[in-house]
């Protein structure tokens, strides 16, 4: 769409909706034509709709808590209350009364004629988030453990009724999750017992389960426990620190891989060509790329070519 076309489109909208401000018009222009700018280039989505796109979802979730409820978030920060969010869900701690919270919530919420978002509020000392249950204790601390949906029965931990392809990996995964979610050793022991009973119920032998737990311990430098699989506080604290560090390393590695992808040009190999012709094509393309796009003055000089067979 050229500038004149964009102006005519906005002008038509302005005639039909005189109450819509300029910001809304720009937003409607983006959603209508599905144009966006990235790295100084203009792109347009030509297949599908805006609904469900990662960018659209991200913008919607950002608006929910830093647009629709921005004043509320400021109050939480000012009062040093715990507040965190994931997509459309938020978890927070409030030390005032329920009446004070609702008053602040209703006062701080931005409501417009164009946007009205339904909100469900659950108040209590215990909340669950995906497979994590978080509780606020009388001592003023938070504790956590694995959460299971009561509506889902007769399944292995976090597993559907479908046949598992690799039981060893599944056992490792549920043990790994148990350490991540359980805030103390007693909660871990309860979860460990549930895991053992679940796997026995589904036909796995005690020897398989025991050896799998032993290997899990040994991977994180816990000495062999023989027939007693219970850990003391120091052992569990060590195990949990190792798991948390492992998670952080995985996140960092994932970020590095994503950054590497941004500097990689994935090129499909030409089909219907013999090996010699394919190699010649690759050499010619790489020569052309290095000559025109990989020189020091080019913004694309850091991009590497990866051929897809």
Average pLDDT over residues 228-253: 91
Q: What is the pLDDT of residues 168-225, one digit of tens each?
A: 888 998 999 999 999 999 999 999 999 999 899 888 999 999 999 999 999 998 877 7
Q: Please state the rounded mean pLDDT for residues 39-55.
A: 66
- Which residues make beta-bridge pairs with 145? 133
Q: Which residues contact 143 (CB under 8 A, 6 or more apart)?
A: 134, 135, 137, 183, 184, 187
Bin 132: left if φ > 0, else alpha if -120 < ψ < 50, else beta: beta
């Amino acid at each position: 769409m050229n500038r004149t076309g964009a102006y005519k489109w906005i002008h038509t909208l302005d005639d039909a909706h005189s109450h819509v401000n300029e910001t809304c018009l720009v937003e409607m222009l983006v959603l209508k034509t599905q144009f966006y700018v990235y790295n100084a280039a203009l792109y347009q989505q030509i297949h599908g709709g805006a609904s469900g796109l990662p960018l659209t979802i991200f913008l919607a979730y950002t608006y929910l808590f830093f647009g629709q409820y921005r004043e509320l978030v400021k109050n939480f920060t000012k009062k040093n209350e715990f507040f965190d969010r994931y997509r459309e869900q938020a978890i927070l701690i409030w030390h005032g009364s329920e009446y004070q919270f609702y008053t602040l919530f209703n006062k701080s919420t931005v409501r417009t004629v164009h946007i009205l978002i339904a909100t469900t509020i659950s108040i209590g000392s215990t909340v669950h988030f995906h497979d994590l249950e978080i509780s606020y204790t009388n001592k003023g601390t938070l504790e956590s453990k694995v959460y299971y949906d009561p509506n889902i029965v007769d399944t292995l931990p976090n597993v559907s009724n479908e046949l598992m392809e690799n039981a060893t990996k599944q056992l490792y995964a549920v043990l790994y999750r148990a350490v991540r979610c359980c805030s103390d050793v007693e909660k871990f022991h309860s979860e460990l017992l549930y895991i053992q009973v679940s796997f026995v119920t589904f036909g796995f032998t005690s020897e398989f389960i025991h050896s799998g737990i032993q290997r899990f311990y040994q991977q994180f430098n816990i000495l062999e426990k023989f027939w007693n699989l219970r850990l003391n506080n120091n052992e569990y604290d060590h195990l949990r620190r190792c798991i948390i560090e492992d998670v952080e390393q995985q996140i960092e590695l994932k970020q590095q891989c994503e950054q590497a992808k941004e500097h990689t040009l994935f090129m499909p190999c030409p089909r219907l060509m013999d090996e010699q012709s394919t190699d010649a094509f690759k050499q010619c393309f790489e020569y052309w790329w290095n000559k025109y796009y990989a020189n020091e003055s080019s913004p694309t000089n850091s991009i590497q070519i990866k051929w897809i067979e």
